Amino acid sequence: MDYLVMKSLFQLMIDKSHREFIKAIISIETDVEDDDRLNRLYDFYMEDDDMSLLNYALVE
């Protein structure tokens, strides 16, 4: 499966539920499984305009 297929699948998941998609990414990266904690982390992520899931060093 190439990156374009993966990108399309991700976009479908984001369109269905952005919140759950981001919580899944956070859970994968942090091993957090508690839904209440993931909700708090998601809210924290969404409230901080300077926070990114992608490290800016990859873009430069």
Provide CB contacts within 8 A for 7, sequence distance 6+.
none
In the prediction, which pLDDT does 53 show?
82
Boundaries of every domain in the chain: 3-58
Token pair, residue 42, equals: 């998601």
CA 48 – CA 29 distance, rounded (Å) = 19
- Each residue's pLDDT, cut to its tens digit, for the chain (60 residues) gives 899 999 999 999 999 999 999 999 999 999 999 999 999 999 999 999 888 887 777 666
Task: Give me the pLDDT at residue 57, please.
Answer: 75
* pTM given for the model: 0.84
| Of residues 29, 20, 17, 18, the one with CA closest to residue 53 | 29
The pLDDT value given to residue 50: 85
